[in-house]
Amino acid sequence: MDVGTDTVEHEVMRVASLPFAAADALLSHYGLRLHRVDDGAPIPGSFWGEPEAGVIAHNVYVRGDTPVHSMLHEACHLIVLPPERRAQVHTDATDSVIEEDATCCLQIILADQLPGVGRGQLMADMDAWGYTYRLGSTQAWFERDADDARAFLEDRGLPHR
């Protein structure tokens, strides 16, 4: 963003703006438990540090200031794993490129199931936060370069469209 222009920096959507019950229901559908951490408290299992979401086994930890894309990303890391691997996760969910790609793809797809979020909002948030893709944007990657991620999700019986 150029300073002094009329352009307003994109504000990413935060967990506090979601109905917590809707986010919890979405994650529980995949066998995960969503935990709300008090504002200002450390987030257990956060790889990048606050305000990023954290993961430990079947648990996802967020605060009100956690970006929605972070909550979905960390949850999707767990969702793409078989349950026996989930149980071993603490903070760092994967070192696999295809699991990372599938995670990014799935978080975009699941955004449609959260009130007031949707794919467009989530992809704009991912771009604003600094996700990078070789086609230049999250949307370009999702629409034209995510076939391997979709195949990975489909092979596991997960949403892929």
Select the more confidently predicted residue: 96 or 147.
Answer: 147
**DSSP for residue 56:** E
For residues 53 and 61, is the Cβ–Cβ distance under 8 A? yes
Model's pTM, two decimal places?
0.92
| pLDDT reported for residue 3 | 35
Amino acid at residue number 31: G
**DSSP for residue 137:** S
| pLDDT reported for residue 36 | 97
- The Cα–Cα gap between 17 and 23 comes to 11
Chain segment 106-141, per-residue pLDDT in tens: 999 999 999 999 999 999 999 999 888 888 999 999
**pLDDT at residue 95 greater than cutoff 80:** no
Chain segment 49-71, per-residue pLDDT in tens: 999 999 999 999 999 999 999 99
Contacts of 129 (CB under 8 A, 6+ apart): 12, 67, 69, 70
Give residue 7's pLDDT band: very low, low, confident or very high (50, 70, 90): very low
Domain ranges of the chain: 15-155
